[in-house]
Amino acid sequence: MVAAALALAAAALCCLAAPERPRALIVADEIPAMRVVAELLGREAGMDAQVATQAETPDELAAYACVLVYIHGKLDHRAEEACIRFAEGGGKLIVLHHSISSAKRAGANPHWFRFLGVEAPSLPFEQGGYRWIEGVTMDIRALAPKHPILRGVKWEQADGGQGFRLEETEVYLNHVLGQGRLPSGDPCGKRTLLLGLTYTAADGRTYRQETAGWTMPTGKGHVVYLMPGHTDREFRHPAYARILANAARWRP
């Protein structure tokens, strides 16, 4: 009887001593792929990750260690504002794949592109206009391999350097990176380029752009953008899984 009581007391003390796992929120409109990411963050980053639709997203996100955004369609204004407030107030916002696409231009979202310091020009592609192309092969290149988000990645050879290759993916071309600004008009900090891309089109023309991954201080917090993520298969790629887990754990 005494032994049982001691065992229960010891178990209770262990529970009390166990540190609470940091929480992550994934705001998404394509849920299956984000369940893969939630499992990844739990396994590789030691986080309790929750997937939520935009309608389920709280107005205040300060309880989360990081918030990830994976929105293919329309970015609701309420979710847009909540994510910007989160980063401005000291949070880490991780923006994935098509969360920077032409559907979020200023006409649809008043602050998103200005906040991120990104343009998707409406010009013809041949004149530098934005274009997305799916079902392609793309090489991802490490631009800052010593940055904490890229540490420990088992790189392959890609375009003559450290990187990895993605098949049957989607590339975004001609993102223009400029000065990010908060809704107040205050400027964001200096952007650090993490990943570049190399894509060779069917006509043989090769595009090398430094827009596949970056991080930027904004207000009291930080934004991280990572372009890969066309399918759940990409989040299972060992190199990219490590990068995403690093980004979630990163303490700037």
pLDDT digits (tens, 9 = 90+) for 68-79: 999 999 999 999
What is the pLDDT confidence band of residue 18, given thresholds at 50, 70 and 90? low
Q: What is the CA radius of gyration of the chain?
A: 20
11 occurs within a structural domain? no
When divided into structural domains, the chain yields a total of 1
Q: Which domain holds residue 205?
A: 22-249
Using CA atoms, how far apart are residues 88 and 20, in angstroms rounded to an integer?
25
10 occurs within a structural domain? no
118 occurs within a structural domain? yes
3-state secondary structure of 48: strand
This prediction has a pTM of: 0.91
Percent above pLDDT 70 for the chain: 92
* φ/ψ of residue 184, rounded to 5: -70, -15
Of the listed ranges 23-27, 158-162, 205-209, the least confidently predicted one is 158-162
The CATH number of residue 138's host domain is 3.40.50.880
Q: Is 94 in contact with 224 (CB distance < 8 Å)?
A: yes
pLDDT digits (tens, 9 = 90+) for 145-174: 999 999 999 999 888 889 999 999 999 999
- Measuring CA to CA, how many Å separate 50 from each of 34, 41, 69, 234, 251? 9, 10, 12, 20, 20
102 occurs within a structural domain? yes
How much is the average pLDDT of 37-45? 97
4 occurs within a structural domain? no
How much is the average pLDDT of 195-221? 97
What is the pLDDT confidence band of residue 12, given thresholds at 50, 70 and 90? very low
AA identity, residue 156: E
91 occurs within a structural domain? yes
How much is the average pLDDT of 34-49? 97
